[in-house]
Structure 1
Amino acid sequence: MMLKESDINMDMIKEAKIFHYGSISLITEPVKSAHLAAIKVAKEAGVLISYDPNVRLPLWPSADAAREGIRSIWNQADFIKVSDDETGAIPALPTPEEAKALMAKK
């Protein structure tokens, strides 16, 4: 939770084949800003992006905050790993139909 952008080796991310991230690091600063910067660098470098929302509602201030945070980076991913119990059953994730629409906006 204390990871800062300056702690990240961006050159390593640029050289990666895949960059994998989750949503929990979006809950607080400074890790949120570091996370978003790393995604941006990976995207600009043409690295494949893998996302696991890994929903943990008790860590978020509210289900609405979780939904907003998870959706805020959903369309950055090339691949999204969602378990059956997360798909639509947990309010933080889009329904399968919403997920298709979000991916179509890429």
Structure 2
Amino acid sequence: MTFRVSRRALLAAPLALALPAWAQDGYPKAAVKIVLPAAPGGPTDVMARMIQPGLAARLGQTVLIINRAGAGGNIGVVQAAKSPADGYTLLIASTGFVVNVSL
């Protein structure tokens, strides 16, 4: 028993896989929020404000920076974690959040 695939089927398969992406609406449709678990004026805040204009221009939407300092950054992280998982809320955290996991 042999299974033969024609050239047409071979060429049509990648196109069929891309169809769901064409059916989706464009992103973003609303303002994008960046939650920053740090006080205004710190190095993380300065970095976020440096990337904000370029990100807003690239996305074509307003990008808001929301500072939520306190409890070692946990207040901001919890706010970002509790937001809907729709891609409209981003989190910029310091390297301490990445390093602490491995300690």
> Does 1 or 2 have the higher relative contact order (CA < 8 Å, sep 6+)?
2
TM-score band by shorter chain is under 0.3
Q: Which has the larger radius of gyration?
A: 2
**TM-score normalized with structure 2 length:** 0.24
